[in-house]
Structure 1
Amino acid sequence: MEESKIPRVKLGSQGLEVSKLGFGCMGLTGVYNSPVADEAGVSVIVHAFNSGVTFFDTSDVYGPKTNEILLGKALKKLSRERIQVATKFGIDRVQMSGMTVNGKPEYVKQCCEASLQRLGVDLIDLYYQHRIDQTVPIEETIGAMKELVEEGKVRYIGLSEASADTIRRAHAVHPISAVQMEWSLWTREIEEEIVPLCRELGIGIVPYSPLGRGFFGGRAVVESVSDNSFLATHPRFTGENLEKNKALYAQIEKLATKHNCSSAQLALAWVLHQGDDVVPIPGTTKIKNLDDNIGSVKVKLTKEELQEISDAASEVAGARSYGFMESFSWKHANTPAPKSSTSG
């Protein structure tokens, strides 16, 4: 492998080190479009690694299950000791009508064992709770995850879509190394409370959907969404909202031309510039797009330029997610207090 052009950074304060740009594997087994063949998916992952990406993100719900299996196949072709594997548990089932979340300790253990098998590894580098179970005290869920660390099955612990209160309570049970949240030019809500808290506690931030669910990936995405993509009914990709957001995209495209880069590179560079503790995980099924994304690490922006880009994307039309998904977002991700250990 040629010398990487992607810098390495510390994610959190417990010792996890990753490539500054990660790779989100979700789309390889379908969501935004049809899944790719295993051989093609493995080729994309291998190409990412050979280009300097060492941080790969998956989940047991992607596929479901098949995404971890695909990443496991790719790992057999790569240098495992140089790769950081992140996976997640917690979403038991997801349908357009709703989602089931489970944070019970016994479920945590079952999921971890199953993920280890599918990935074909002995240790998960970063294990996230994918969504917060609002019926189980976070202390109980993290307690089970802590045991997995003590058993040598998990190296570091993370949370996804967690509220500030949940993050703080979880961190008190066992250090949280990373929090994965949606963060991009058109999803900025975490900047007020979540980002400052993570920095106070020494927790790394992993933005998912850093390209706005592909919106900033190129004009083709903006102009036509595939009928078999879940984006075909997403609030920001439909009707009047989409027409308004096309104007927003045009502004970003214009600024990208000014900086001699693609719109995807500009959008990713904006996220990358949010701090050394920020590691976005864009995904793609095409090596051409992967190379374009990796090129974002070379884009340098001044404070004034970052503000100009932020201003250009300030008027976003439509909610960031579907209604049923919003009820599981970080804004609602508080859990009950643990039961007192003392009898009264």
Structure 2
Amino acid sequence: MEYTQFGRTGVDVSRIILGAWQFGKQAWGEIQDDESVQTMFAAIDAGINMIDTAVGYGSGYSEEIVAQTVKEAPKECLLASKVMGPPEAIKQGIDAALARMGVDCIDLYQLHYPQPNTPIADQVGAMKEIQDAGKIRWIGVSNFTLEQMQEAVATARIESCQPPYNVFWRQFEDDVLPLCGEHEIAVIPYSPLAQGLLAGRFRKPEDVPSDIRANNKLMAPDVLAQCVPVIERLESIGAAHGRTLVQAAIAWTIQAPNITAPIIGARRADQLAENLGGVGWSLTGEEWSEISEAGKAISAGLDFSSNMWGWAPR
């Protein structure tokens, strides 16, 4: 495993982070706890040293199973979680989160989404209060626009930003990511495989499963048709390096400017093993640019008024 600096914390983080939405079970179909635990143990054994969860992943269930597994693991692993809501809910909810996770302090606590009609300064201010109380180590944000990021960094020290980011979804690439670079904020993007699209599983509309991915904007028939040729080209680039499409998509993300470590959402240990092969090698500069330009042309036509699967906080 390779490691890199996590913002200005002085702590090294693995070049990929394990995401834990799927371990909360909701929205992802059938998944067994023992399989989730095996996947997390395999990740930690391979050198992944941060797992990212959220209270919204199965109403706290993911937080519970992640924290329990990390406690039993033979190696240390950083706990990251996320919360959303008005300032009072953030301050009141931290004790419940600590109880679910069985810890006194959460390493990285992130605002999952900005709360509508609430000043960013108030939301970040609530996070600063619980940080000052010793209940969280670092403050992070997720799904923030440039203007929201600017207000956040003016209110407190922000250590990480978690935007959606992959070959086809480039919403924050030209504004939020450079700001993060300027402020030495770690960027830990989610959905580097676009919920399986960049794993090559869904090349026709009928391939798309009936779970949350059915609402993914990248899997709408007209957009999917545009994505497939780029996917096939990335697949051929990966093959030239002796790598799979999945590994090429992860490597592309790691190579992108200002990226610290993408969050991968493996459900099983075999998926994790393939994801790990995205670390430790690089596309050539020409290959990276070719895929970047093709993906950005598709991204330019997308609707960013809601997230990748059509949801927005209200």
- CA change 1:138–1:220 in 2 (3 A) is closer
Shift of 1:161: 0.9
Amino acid at match of 1:226: P
Match of 1:46 in 2: 41
**Paired residue secondary structure (1:189):** coil
| Match status 1:103 vs 2:86 | yes
Q: Which residue of 1 aligns with 2:287?
A: 305
Q: What do the CA deviations read for 1:178-215 (whole angstroms, capped 9, x no partner)?
A: 01001111111212111111111111111100111221
Would you say the 8 A contact 1:161–1:180 is kept in 2?
yes
Which of 9, 15, 20 matches 2:10? 15
Q: 1:79 to 1:141 in 2, by over 3 A?
A: farther
Return the TM-score normalized by structure 2.
0.91
Structure-2 residue corresponding to 1:83: 77
**Cα distance in 2 for residues equivalent to 1:114 and 1:32:** 23
TM-score relative to the length of structure 1: 0.83
Asked if 1:155 is matched to 2:150, the reply is no
Q: Deviations over 1:147-199 (max 9, x none)?
A: 21111110000011112222122212211000100111111121211111111
Give the % identical residues.
28
Distance 1:111 1:205 in 2: 25
Counterpart-to-counterpart distance in 1, 2:67 and 2:214: 30
Relative to structure 1, the CA distance from residue 226 to residue 278 in structure 2 (aligned partners, 3 Å threshold; closer, same or farther) is same
Q: Which residue of structure 1 aligns with residue 217 of structure 2?
A: 235
The unaligned stretches of length 5 or more in structure 1 are 1-5, 91-101, 334-344
Question: Which residue pairs with 1:225 in the alignment?
Answer: 208
Distance 1:222 1:70, change over 3 A: farther
Which residue type is aligned with residue 180 of structure 2? C
Specify the SS of the correspondent of 2:72.
Answer: coil
Deviations 1:4-25, CA, capped at 9 Å, x for gaps: xx12211211334311110111
Whole-angstrom distance in 1 between the partners of 2:203 and 2:59: 27
* Match of residue 280 from structure 1: 262
**TM superposition shift of 1:275:** 4.4
Letter in 1 for 2:151: R
- Aligned residue for 2:195, secondary structure, equals coil
Which has the larger Rg? 1
Map of 2:182 onto structure 1: 200
CA distance in 1, matches of 2:55, 2:178: 30
Map 1:255-274; keep pairs closer than 5 Å: 255-274=237-256
Query: Are the aligned partners of 1:132 and 1:328 in contact in 2 as well (CA < 8 Å)?
Result: no
238 and 170 in structure 1: CA distance in 2 versus 1, 3 angstrom threshold: closer
Which stretch of structure 1 is more off in the superposition, 127-136 or 268-277?
A: 268-277
Q: What letter matches 1:188 in structure 2? A: R
One of 29, 53, 56 as aligned partner of 1:58: 53
Match of 2:147 in 1: 165
Gaps of 5+ in 2: none
8 Å CA contact 2:7–2:184 kept in 1: the answer is yes
Cα distance in 2 for residues equivalent to 1:141 and 1:33: 29
Q: Do the aligned residues in 2 keep the contact of 1:248 with 1:316 (CA within 8 Å)? A: no
Residue 18 of structure 1 aligns to which amino acid in structure 2? V
Shift of residue 34, structure 1, vs aligned partner: 1.2
How far off its partner does 1:312 sit?
Answer: 4.0
C-alpha distance in 2 between matches for 1:320 and 1:41 = 33
Name the amino acid aligned to 1:311.
E
* Contact 2:5/2:12, CA 8 A, preserved across alignment: yes
Q: Which moved more, 1:159-168 or 1:307-316?
A: 307-316
- The whole-number CA distance in structure 1 between the counterparts of 2:187 and 2:218 is 24
Answer yes or no: is 1:118 the counterpart of 2:100.
yes
Alignment of 1:60-75 (within 5 A): 60-75=55-70
Contact 1:157 1:178 in 2 (8 A): yes
Distance 1:79 1:110 in 2: 32
- The residue type equivalent to 1:247 in the other structure is P
- 8 Å CA contact 1:26–1:62 kept in 2: the answer is yes
Q: CA deviation at 1:134?
A: 2.6
The alignment of Structure 1 onto Structure 2 pairs a total of residues equal to 310
The corresponding residue for 1:96 is: none
Q: Aligned residue for 1:146?
A: 128
Distance in 2, matches of 1:69 and 1:231, equals 25
Distance 1:54 1:35, change over 3 A: farther
Shift of 1:128: 0.4
Q: 1:36 to 1:321 in 2, by over 3 A?
A: farther
